[in-house]
Structures are given as C-alpha cells and as structure tokens.
Amino acid sequence: MTSSSNDSLFILIKSLSKSEKRQFKLYVNRLGVNADAKFLALFNLLDKMSTYNEKEILTSGIVKKQQLSNLKAHLYKQILVSLRLNPVNQNIRIQIREQLDFATILYMKGLYKQSLKILDKAKAMAISNQEKVIAYEIVELEKVIETQYITRSISGRADELAVQAKELSQQNVITSKLSNLSLQLYGIMLKFGYVKNDEEYRMISEYFTSHLPEYDQSKLGFREKLWLYKAYLWYSFLTQDFLSCFKYAKKWVDLFYENPSMIYLNPVFFLKGNNYLLETMYYVKSRTGFKESLQRLQETIEDKKFPDNDNLKVLAFMYMNSNKLNLHFLEGSFEEGLTLEKPIMEGIKKYGNMIDEHHIMVFYYKLACMYFGAGDNKKCIDYLKKIIDNKNLTMREDLMCFARVLNLVAHYDAGMDYHLEIQLRNTYKFLLKMNDLHEVQKEMIRFMRSLGDIYPSELKAEFKKLHSRLKKFENHPYEKRAFLYLDIISWLESKIENRPIGEIIREKAAVLIR
C-alpha cells in the first residue's frame, strides 16, 4: 500500500494553498464537467485526509481498485494544468513557451504569417531575458515555416536565421559544457569531499582544466557567466581556496544585482549565490561584509517584487537562518544566537517534508555549537546526539566526524567523563571507518586519551602544548577546514586563560579587518 510520504498526488494536493484549491475547482467548473466527476470527488476526499489511506478511497465507492491508478494520474495532470493557468505561477519563461505553443498551433493551421509574427515577438522576449535554449527552438521553427511561406526576401531572411541559429547554438553549447562541469564538480564534492593532499589537488586541477571549454569573456551572456562562476566556485571549494571561493561567489551575486530582472526570473540561483557568498565570507572572517550582504539579501527577499512560492520560502528559511547563526559565530554572541533556536525548530517542523535530512542535521550541529559557546554543554550534547544517532545520514561525513569530536569535548567540559574512554574508542573507530581522520582530530583524540594521566596542576601546561601543536595547522591547506566546524583554538585559549569561549571569540572579532 502506498504511504503518504511517497504518494505524489497526495503530497501535491497537501502542498496547495487555499487560493490554489479554489482555483482548481473553478478550473474544473470551466471544463463543464459534472460537479460529481470522479476525479473531483477524489480530490475532495484526498484534501480531507490527514494521511494517505488507499483503503478509505476504495471503500468510498469513488473508484474501483483497477481504475485507481488511471484516475490518480488524470487528477494529477488536471491539477498541474490548473496551477499553470494560475497568474501566481506565471513567469517570463512560461509566457515565452505559451507563445511558442500558440505559434505552433497557427503553423499547423497553415496561418504562417500569423505564426511568424508571434514567433518574432517571442524570440525577442527570449533573447532579452537570456532564455537562449527557447530562443534556439523558436529560430528552428522559424526556419521550418520560412521554407513554406515563400517571400521575395527569403534569401536575406535565410541568412539572418542561419546566423542567429549558429550564434545561439554556440552559446548554448558553452552553457551546457560549463553547467556539466559545475554539476560534475559538485558530484565529486559530495562523493569524496575536499581535497586532502597534493595528489588529490593535482587530480582535481587536471580534471577542471581539461573539462573547462574555451570561451571569449567579452562574448559571454548572463547564463554563460553564471555557469562559469559556478564552475570556478566549486573548483575553489574542492581545493579549499576560500579566497577564490569568495571571489567567484561575489561575481555570481554581482551578476544578479547588475541584471535585476534576472533576480525575479532566476530566484533560486540568486538565493544560492548569496548563500555561497555568505558562507565564504564566514570562512574568510569578513564580518562587516557579511552583515552588509546578509542585510541586502533580506531586503531583496522582503521586496514585494520577489517571487513567492513554497520552494523559495524553504530556501529563504534555510539560508537566512543558517547565515544568521554564522554571524553570531563570527561575533561570538552565542547567548544572543540562541534566540534563533525557536524559529529554526518551528521552521523545521513547518517545512519538514521539503527540507532534506542533511540540512536539518546541519542546523542541529550549529545549534549544538551555539550552546557549546554559551557554556551549556548538556544542551549541546542533546543536539549532537540527534546527529550521532542518525543511521540514515550517508552524506556529509565531515558533519558526522566533527559532531563526534565536539561531543567528546562537550562531555569533558560538562564533567561527564565517566564513559570518556569508551566514547574515545568509538569515535576513533568511526573516524577510521570514514577515512576522514585529520591531523587535528588525531591530536584531539591523543589529548583526550591522556587526560586520565594528567594531574590537575599540569592541565594548563598540557592545554598550552596542544594549542601550540594545533596552531600550526590553522593555515594548513588541507587541515584548516577542521577549524571551520569547531573553533578548537579559541576553546583551548579559553581553558588556558580561564575565560568564557564567547569572550575570546568576541575579542578576535573586534580586531578583524573588513
């Protein structure tokens, strides 16, 4: 029996707003079908259900079991058609496609002149909005029609269309190659993570240079530049060159602000670009720039012109709250950062079905770090336990690794070290299994293991020794990432100086140069 968690029709109906449901029923009435039509009755029944129940559908008498699959498919299609007609869901891309459909219908009726007139307007709209794939389709249809609608200017018209087709084709090829490269680099990132040594660095560099297509920067349009910056961004992430990440993330975001109409046509790419920019600013500790960019993003999202749909609401929730947490980490304002806990947990509950598990675990880890910085180690451990006990988390191995290391530190700080040896052993085994044992992690585990043999009077001296050993990794090309997940240097300094970690981080933040 199909469950509510994976029944596509049920999920679609539950995603509809009140106005969209009303629009669907008006659309059905416009079709002139009987108000008791089976697919409408099925819609009303599913709308009332809190969870999908196939048995209840069959006992309702609406449809027989052998007909249910076809009826559900028909209802699904009708809902999509209704949504497409809804003005809320209309954008430039859909409008151009609609004009292309109209022109095709006119061509099939033999009304060539009318078809060409619509295609000409649709093509101009497509090119001005950087929809070059659709523009190429329009030119191809124009070429077909021109061979049948003979005019005295056919030779000049043929040359014009041939040049347009060639230019659009070349631009689309470059866009395709750049988007493929960007996607492949992202896939490498998910599968293998950041480069860990010189050999991996050489492999990634060779892969990137060999797959990067030749291009003339002066001839690149909006989309080609967007995919170019994305490809360079992922290459920079993989090689842990965070200054280069910042450079290309900024180019990405600036590209949108220089072409404001593209923000509203491609809002997802706009949000993602801003998220990467803020993430890299956090990595390079650009606190002032971070605050300005976060404020600018919030103002753009709150602008009435910014598109409003469920997907964008979820992305805005994730990116805004994640980066608000990062701002508190940069400033060392942990107690203030805890005020975000309630809206984040409410958002996770509200958008739970639309947020993947990995992003939820990232929120848990950041909240754990916030509690750790605020000195509430027990609450920190509670959030870390949610991550450590998650057996379904097959990606983001780095998150699992650092959650376990922070868990050790939090247990020690909380005085809950009676099972520390067992936890150390389990953590060490886990890190070996994950093949993600960094030098920073090795040093931390060695130190934790030695705690039982260190007299209290010697503890501060041992903290200083560990601080000295770890400090040399702070700017190491392959080890520095460890400090992005857990500011262990500041923790050690707080132990050495006997001061709260938040105070240490705030002092560092105060001297940061923009």
Contact 253, 292 (CB under 8 A): no
pLDDT tens sequence across 442-467: 777 777 677 667 666 777 787 788 88
Q: Tokens 């920019």: give the residue.
A: 277
Q: State yes or no: pLDDT of 342 exceeds 90.
A: yes
Residue 18 or residue 301, greater confidence: 301
**Secondary structure class of 481 (helix, strand, coil):** coil
16 found inside a domain: yes
Q: pLDDT band for position 229 (50/70/90)?
A: very high
Its pTM surpasses 0.95: no
Q: State yes or no: pLDDT of 256 exceeds 90.
A: yes
> Which pLDDT score, from 0 to 100, does residue 186 have?
85
> Which pLDDT score, from 0 to 100, does residue 154 have?
55
pLDDT tens sequence across 66-113: 888 899 999 999 999 888 887 666 678 888 998 999 999 998 888 888
65 found inside a domain: yes
Q: pLDDT band for position 434 (50/70/90)?
A: low
SS3 content of the chain, % helix, strand, coil (to 5): 80, 0, 20
Q: State yes or no: pLDDT of 208 exceeds 50.
A: yes
> Which pLDDT score, from 0 to 100, does residue 493 have?
85
Helices (H), 259-396: 260-265, 267-283, 287-302, 310-331, 334-337, 341-350, 357-374, 377-388
Contact 290, 327 (CB under 8 A): yes
- As a whole number, the mean pLDDT across the chain is 84
Q: pLDDT band for position 164 (50/70/90)?
A: confident
19 found inside a domain: yes
Contact 75, 62 (CB under 8 A): no
> Which pLDDT score, from 0 to 100, does residue 391 have?
74
Q: Tokens 């988007």: give the residue.
A: 179
> Which structural domain range is residue 71 located in?
8-89
Q: State yes or no: pLDDT of 146 exceeds 70.
A: yes
Whole-angstrom Cα Rg for the chain: 28
pLDDT above 70 coverage of the chain, percent: 87
Residue 327 or residue 191, greater confidence: 327
Mean pLDDT, residues 320-328 taken together = 94
357 found inside a domain: no
pLDDT tens sequence across 355-410: 888 889 999 999 999 998 888 989 999 999 998 888 766 555 667 777 887 887 88
> Which pLDDT score, from 0 to 100, does residue 432 have?
63
> Which pLDDT score, from 0 to 100, does residue 340 have?
96
Please count the CA atoms within 13 angstroms of the CA of 324 that sit on its side-chain side.
19
Q: pLDDT band for position 441 (50/70/90)?
A: confident
> Which pLDDT score, from 0 to 100, does residue 231 have?
94
- Phi first, then psi: give them for residue 7, nearest 5 degrees: -85, 110
> Which pLDDT score, from 0 to 100, does residue 437 have?
61
Q: pLDDT band for position 497 (50/70/90)?
A: confident
Mean pLDDT, residues 143-148 taken together = 82
Contact 61, 9 (CB under 8 A): no
355 found inside a domain: no
Mean pLDDT, residues 291-315 taken together = 91
Q: pLDDT band for position 1 (50/70/90)?
A: very low
Count of domains forming the chain: 1
Q: State yes or no: pLDDT of 227 exceeds 50.
A: yes
pLDDT tens sequence across 257-296: 999 989 988 999 999 999 999 999 998 888 788 999 999 9
Q: State yes or no: pLDDT of 191 exceeds 70.
A: yes
346 found inside a domain: no
21 found inside a domain: yes
Mean pLDDT, residues 160-176 taken together = 89
Dist. CA 55–CA 13, nearest whole Å? 18
> Which pLDDT score, from 0 to 100, does residue 514 have?
43
How far from 325 is each of 279, 312, 340, CA to CA, in Å? 11, 20, 8
- Please choose, from the candidates 487, 438, 466, 471, the residue with its C-alpha nearest in 3D space to the C-alpha of residue 283: 487
Contact 365, 383 (CB under 8 A): yes
475 found inside a domain: no
